[in-house]
Amino acid sequence: MLKQIKIGFLTMLTVAALASCKNDTADTAAATTGSTADATAQPGTAMDAAAQSITNPGGVNPTANPAEPAAPTGPTTVISFTETEFNFGKVKAGEKVEHEYTFKNTGKEPLVISNAKGSCGCTVPEWPKEPIAPGASAKIRVNFDSKGKSGPQTKQVTITANTDPVQSIIYIKGEVLGDPASAAPAGGTAPQSH
């Protein structure tokens, strides 16, 4: 009889273990299904991104930067700069530097610059808005404000035009000598040099 009790007890344990495994599998499936349902309901998830790629197959975000002008369409031409880099040397912090980059339309179509953008707010370009005829030259003026800057500086201006490639880059660089008064520790005096 003791043997039958042991067999009965082992059978019950086996059935309980199997039932427990079956419940764990059902819970896991429910959790997976629930998380999938949650993913479809919440924006910003992988499911949402997949749904957006179906509705917007090109992946272009129409609201990404609506103020940014697009590259001109139509025939392309060639832009040739006299120089693509200007080194202004050393200036004191707060000084402004201005430089004009001369370029020529060496292609066979009118050159249209749709945008010129500095790599930061301290670098501001001004460019011709009208088309530049083949063979004609023009200038892009770049203003660099060294206020709040210190040390070596390299800034770039990206020019978007009907060229191939669509973007050209020019650089302005130099060194900004920091203001000794701004180097003083807070509440103290500037270090003395011996």
**87/173 same-domain check:** yes
Residues in Cβ contact with 174 at an 8 Å cutoff, skipping those fewer than 6 apart: 87, 88, 89, 90, 91, 97, 152, 153
**9/101 same-domain check:** no
**140/94 same-domain check:** yes
Domain span at residue 7?
2-55
Q: What is the pLDDT of residue 118?
A: 96
**Confidence tier at 74 by pLDDT (50, 70, 90):** confident
187 belongs to a structural domain: no
Q: Which of 2-16, 23-37, 88-102, 178-192 has the lowest mean pLDDT?
A: 23-37
Q: What is the pLDDT of residue 136?
A: 98
163 belongs to a structural domain: yes
* 170 in Cβ contact with 85 (< 8 Å): yes
Structural domain count, the chain: 2
**162/91 same-domain check:** yes
